[in-house]
Structure 1
Amino acid sequence: MRKEAPLGGYMDDPFDTICAHIEALTARPAPEGVLAGALARISPEGDERAAIFGRATPGGPPVEDAGVRVRVASISKAATARAVVETVLAGWLSLDEPLVEVIGWDDAPAQVRKVRIRHLLSHLSGLTDHGGYIVDPPGSVTAFIEATPTALSGDAPGMFFRYANLNYVLLGQVLEVVRGERFDSILRRLVLEPAGIAGGFNWAGVDERKRRLPLYQWTGGRLVLQVDGPEAEWDADLIWRDGAGQSLEDWRPGVQTSWFSPHAGLRMSVSEAARLARLIGRDDAAGRMQREVQWAHDGKNGEDGDGLFQRFALGLSVYEGHPRIPGKLVGHAGHALGFSGGAWFDQGSGTAWAYFLLGMPDLTEGQDEEAFYAEDELFILRQF
């Protein structure tokens, strides 16, 4: 039986300490607390442990199944980047190839013509999300960028770090064009199955859809349903953010890629997120390549997210010697639609971690930069 501890208290096992912290958060009313929270850990030997707390819906019964899947926001980028790395290692692609040549983008803006695949992976592309990044079906991301002048920052590619979701929608298109397959199939074969993940992007290819949690966000003084509610068209090939189903019968490589939301659409459980972190931490060619740092903040060369973007690799944040995050962590955070969480591999201990907090407010509202960690999340990261 787990020992009780006050919010922020310490125990011998950091898993128990974090569980007590998350459980206490779920007991607090919004917006100080959360609707639900989950934690998973995989030891260096491969032993898994997971726990979940709170409620699936406001006023609903307690959620007890730690295997439920959730839209994990930008943690998805780590999986998309891993598929690109595997494609590079297989000789299908080079990190330094121009984006426009890979996907055949003849009408690309002049600034985009200098973008390399490496720049997209490390957020050094000069693209921004200031004009938005949600490309509703049947639109294409390239047409969206051509029609959106604010999608371009004016910074030369390779010179300035600016976190942009558009980078990863384009990387999804790159994968489809290079491999001639659907994005979801590529990710399942190259990343999800090797990691032990049965979830998928926007539910494409996922047979088991009943083990899921909807996302609620605290907004306007109440919790508001955002995605994966009961009214979604759950029999469709793919579920878009508004719940509308999409058929993949007319799929064409590199055209409908945005339907899968390569930047944020992955659904997985907290244990599966920890398995993704463990895959990232493997001592193999793909792991070593993906973890190689591409950018380090020097005070002038990028937006550091209030000091929380320290170093960035290929689709991964890297922490070592950070004043607020003491571990040697590599992985990715996610924050969107009421979800906050992360999938992290501790390079010091060889332990993989993942946590989910659901029912959060929008921490980015009114800010120019992407905000990642509330203080309650920093507490969790400090325990790893």
Structure 2
Amino acid sequence: MGVQIGVLGGGQLGRMLALAGYPLGLGFRFFDTAPEAPAGQLAELVVGDYADEEALARFAEGLSLLTYEFENVPLAAVARLAQSLPVYPPPGALEVAQDRLAEKTFFQGLGIPTPLFYPVQTHNDLLDGLERTGWPALLKTRRMGYDGKGQRLLRSPADLEAAWAQLGGQPLILEAFVPFERELSILAVRSTRGQVAFYPLVENHHEKGILRKSLAPAPATSARLQHQAEELARRVMERLDYVGVLAIELFEMEGVLWANEMAPRVHNSGHWTLEGAETSQFENHLRAILGLPLGSTAPRGRAAMLNLIGQRPEFARVLEIPGAHLHWYGKEVRPGRKVGHVTLRADTPEVLQADLRRLEAVLAETKD
């Protein structure tokens, strides 16, 4: 038997890892709580609870190493598996990323700018924090929030009680609102041999807290800004002895990058790399955890990615657009659910924008 990679989580990111790994002769086994997890379309899927030691043991049997495709994997399960298998990225990265307070404190300790933040346990903590952050501010759960979930924007004192009624009673973090000019992300990759590579900065556009569109490389990005992003990502990876793909979401404000949060895994804002880069983030993640030479991260012209959220467009209409590539995850279509994405690739920004307008018009016909 060749190399068998275990993946905690069986969502679309895991599915795309398997698709990238099969040309390299790799085998995969996934663990997920949902029997309909998309990765099960391509590889063995062990279904169970993360607290089920017997299910985890069955999953781990015969594996060569372990990775994960989402950052909310219970640390106890990872620690148990790490006793018998190499785990990449390291569990310490999970621990930092799972708690927004720990994450912001970690960034601060590395000298990376972040919004002003304040831990909140009680209603009085919230009032004290608002005296420091001012208005507007964001109240967020410290754990489990994603795609805009678990957070409320506090524009004025009128929003206070409704936000507390929704989120109070659990560990929270209050963050000052950053009047950013745009949202960016940097994808970095580091191998077990210490080799490091960076993808170009990506410009991200969100709707209702969910990533809707990414443009790569980010328009109007200077070499200085790219270098700034790479250096802060390098600091994070070196401190964590990181292995694999790392995504850091950033705010740009007056030429300075502020860290919002990090994801110790392949990332939605890196989907453009499937057709838009010499080596996709998924293949480079696998190369990194296996200690293989990393592939080139150079872009192949200009690229865009649009998430399909709660909609199934007419595939033929999408594919008749030049440079369009459709990725369908095989998930049931529900409002607010990511069920696929489309990437576009073009040689010039002008052609990309024309194709993007055409694609957006097609998607608007079936938008949730």
TM-score, shorter chain, exceeding 0.5: no
Bigger-Rg structure (1/2): 2
TM-score of the aligned structures, taking structure 1 as reference length:
0.28
Structure with the greater relative contact order (CA < 8 A, sep ≥ 6): 1 or 2? 1
- Higher relative strand content: 2
TM-score of the aligned structures, taking structure 2 as reference length:
0.29
